[in-house]
Structure 1
Amino acid sequence: MGSCFSSILTKLTINVNTFDDCLYHLDGLFIRLSTLIIDIEKISISISDVEKMKQLSKLKYFSLTSMKTTIFYDDQVVPLLRQMSNLEELTLFLIIKRLDSTYINGIQLYDQILIHMPRLNKFTFSINTLISNDVNISLPSNDDIQRSFIGKKYQQVGSYADDKLIKALARCHIYSLPDQFDNFHHLNNSFQGSIFEKVKSVKITDIHPFEHEFFKIISQSFPFLQYLSVQNDEQQKNKQHLSTLIIFPHLRNFNLTLAHIDYAEKFLMKKTTDLPCLAYLRIKYEQLVIITNHFTNNSIEFNFSQLKFLSTVEPFVCSENFHLYFPQLQIFDS
C-alpha cells in the first residue's frame, strides 16, 4: 500500500489470518487511522510486542471479531486493548477457552480493559467462555454473572451459564443488548430465550440432550434464522411427538453431521418441524436411511422438497428411490 494512501486513511476494514497481521496494521503504518475493524481467522501467540505499538492511543473505534476458539485472550487481547486509551467505541466477538479458571464477567472486563478507556461511550460484545478445569474451581451462576455488570456503566447485558462442571467442562456466554451480531455460537440448554432479529446463524452444542421445548425457544428467539448447526450426540429423553409444530420459516442451511439421529428425525419430518426454505443439508447418510426406512416411507412426510444441496459424511450407493425424495437436488456431495 502506497505511503500517500497510508497517510490519509482514517478507516480500515480488513480480514486477517493471525494476530500478528492485526498488530501490523496498528504499528504506525496508518498515521491518521481512527477506525479499525478486524476479523481474525484465529487469535494465536504473537511474536510482536503489544506494548510497543505506535498507533493504539489514536484509535477512536476498534472492532475485533474471531469465530475460532482462542486460549490467548488474557495474554494477547487484554494487553492490546489496554493500550487504546482514547477509544470511544469498542466491539468484540470472541470465543475464549480457559484452563483451570473461571468465566469472563462484567467485573473482569471493567477492571482489565474498560477502566483503561475513560472516553469509551459504547461497548458492544459477544463473549463465549469455554472452561476446562481439572481442579475444583467454583463457577458463578448466571445470576452471579448478571450481578457482575451492575454499577459498571454497562448497557443492558444478556447471559447464560453452566453453574457446574460436567466432565470437567462448562461454558458461559455474555452479550450486550440489543444484539448487533449475525452469529450466535455455543448456545446450549442454559439459554432461556429472548428476541434476536439480526442473528442469521446459530450453532448449538451441549452434552445434555436437546428437547422439544428448547427447539421451540430457538425458533421463537431467532425469527430470521438462516443457518443452524446442531452438535449433540446424546439421545433425546422425551421423544414423543408433541402437538406444537416448530417452524423455522427462513432456515436454508442445516448441519446435522455431529448430531444424534433423534435430531435428524425431529427436524426433517414435517409432523414435528416445518422447514419450508431448507435448501442445504449436511447429514450422515446412515441417518437418512434410517429415518426414511431405506427410502420406502412416503417422501412427502419429509422436509426435502426444496433441497438443492446434500452433503453426506461418507460415500454410498444411492438406493432406487433416493432421487424421489429430493426432486430439486442440484448438487450431491459425499
Structure 2
Amino acid sequence: MSNLEKLDLNLSLSMKKAFVDGNDLKKNIINHMLRLDKFTFNIRSVLHLHNEINLPSNEDIQNTFRNFKNNHIISCLDYFQEQQSSQCLIYSYPYKSKFYKYITNNFSGGLFKCVREISLFDVHPFEHEFFLRISQSFPFMQKLALRNYKPQNNKLCKESKNDNQDLSIIKYPHLTNLTLSRSHDDYVKQFLLDTKTCLPNNVHLNVTYQTLERVTHNFTRDATRINCQKLKSLSIDPIRIFKHVKNYFPHTEIF
C-alpha cells in the first residue's frame, strides 16, 4: 500500500465523534503513502448528534483541505436537528462517480457529466429553483429518487403556462426512472405539472396510488395529463386498475 501512486476512495461511513475531513485523510492516508501522486475521493460520513455544542461549519471542513494543492475539494455539511443526525460529503472535483447520493438544499452546484443516478433528501423544502439547479448540474442523469415530506413554500402550480411566465419549465432529457414514493404531494406536482416540468418519453414512475390520485384530481386534471401520458410504466401497487385510471395513462404499463 505504501508504494501506491494513485488512489481513488469511495466510502460511506458512520462516525462516533467527528466527520472525516482533510486532517483525517492526511494523518491516516497521505502521510503513510509517500509515493502517492494522485488522490481522488468521494466520502460521506454520518454523525449522530448528542447535544453537541461546538459543531464544525462547512467552512471549518473546507479549511482542512487548504494544503491539498493537487485537487479542487468540495465539502457539503448538513445538520438535521429533527432527526438528531448530520452528514458531511467531501469529494474531489471534477467528480468521476456515476452516483451522487443524499443531495440537500446545501448542494453548491457544478457540472457532473459522469453522474447517471442521484438521490435527493432534506428536512427542508425543495423549491423549483433547486430542481432547476439539479437539472443543469446533472445533464445526463437517468435515475432520480426523492425523499422529502416537507411541503414547498412557493406554491407555483397554476394550471396555465401563461400564468407562470416567470417560472422556467425544467427538462430532464435522459431521465428514465423517477421515484417519488416517499415524498410530499408537492414534489409529485413538481414533476407532473406541465407548467413546471417537461418529462421525456419512456419514464418509469414509482409513486403511491393515493398521492397520484390527489395530484391528478382523481385522474382528471389536464395540467398533469401531458406528462402522465409520456410515462412508459407506473408502479402504484393498486388493488384494482379502474378504467378511468387506465384512460389517463393510455400508453403506460401499470403495476
TM-based fold match above 0.5: yes
Assess, with a 3 A threshold, how the Cα gap between structure 1 residues 228 and 87 changes in structure 2: closer, same or farther: same
Pick one of 211, 214, 218 that aligns with 1:287. 211
**Residue 124 in structure 1 maps to residue 40 in structure 2:** yes
Aligned to 1:86: 3
Please, which runs of 5 or more residues in structure 2 have no aligned partner?
Answer: 158-163
Q: What pairs up with 1:103-118 in 2 under 5 angstroms?
A: 103-118=19-34
- Deviation of 1:86 after TM superposition, in Å, equals 1.2
Task: Report how far residue 215 of structure 1 moved.
Answer: 0.9
1:292 to partner: Cα distance? 1.1
Instruction: Return the letter of the residue paired with 1:102.
Output: A
**Aligned amino acid, residue 237 of structure 1:** N
2:138 to 222, 240, 261: 222
Q: Does 1:327 align with 2:218?
A: no
- What SS does the aligned partner of 2:100 have? strand
SS at match of 2:211: helix
C-alpha RMSD over aligned residues:
1.9
Q: Note the C-alpha offset of 1:163.
A: 5.9
Count of paired positions: 247
User: Secondary structure in 1 aligned to 2:234?
Assistant: strand
Deviation at 1:216, TM superposition (A): 1.1
Counterpart-to-counterpart distance in 2, 1:210 and 1:278: 25
SS in 2 for 1:140: coil
AA partner of residue 228 (structure 1): L
Tell me which amino acid in the other structure corresponds to 2:135. Answer: S
- Quote the offset at 1:186 in angstroms: 0.9
Q: Which has the higher contact order (CA 8 A, sep 6+)?
A: 2
> Structure 2 matches for 1:15-164, cutoff 5 A?
84-99=1-16, 101-162=17-78
> 1:197/1:265 Cα in 2 relative to 1: closer, same or farther (>3 Å)?
same
1:131-163 deviation per Cα after TM superposition (whole angstroms, max 9, x unaligned):
212241522222222211111344111121126
TM-score, normalised via structure 1 length: 0.69
Whichever residue aligns with residue 248 of structure 2, its letter is: Y
- Call closer, same or farther: CA 1:237–1:217 in 2, change over 3 Å: same
1:205 aligned partner: 121
Residue 299 of structure 1 contacts residue 325 of structure 1 at CA under 8 Å; is this kept in 2?
Answer: no
Q: After TM superposition, where is structure 1 displaced by more than 6 Å over at least 4 residues in a row?
A: none
Q: Is the 8 A contact 2:80 2:123 kept in 1?
A: no
Q: Contact between 1:103 and 1:139, CA under 8 Å: does it hold in 2?
A: no
Q: Distance in 2 between matches of 1:179 and 1:140?
A: 24
Structure-1 separation of matches of 2:133 and 2:2: 40
Separation in 1, partners of 2:54, 2:65: 19
TM-score of the aligned structures, taking structure 2 as reference length: 0.90
Match of 1:71 in 2: none
Write the letter of the residue equivalent to 1:92.
Answer: L
Contact 1:139 1:164 in 2 (8 A): no
Evaluate the alpha carbon distance shift between residue 238 and residue 300 of structure 1 in structure 2; reply closer, same or farther with a 3 A threshold. closer
Using the alignment, how far apart are the partners of 1:89 and 1:165 within structure 2?
A: 38
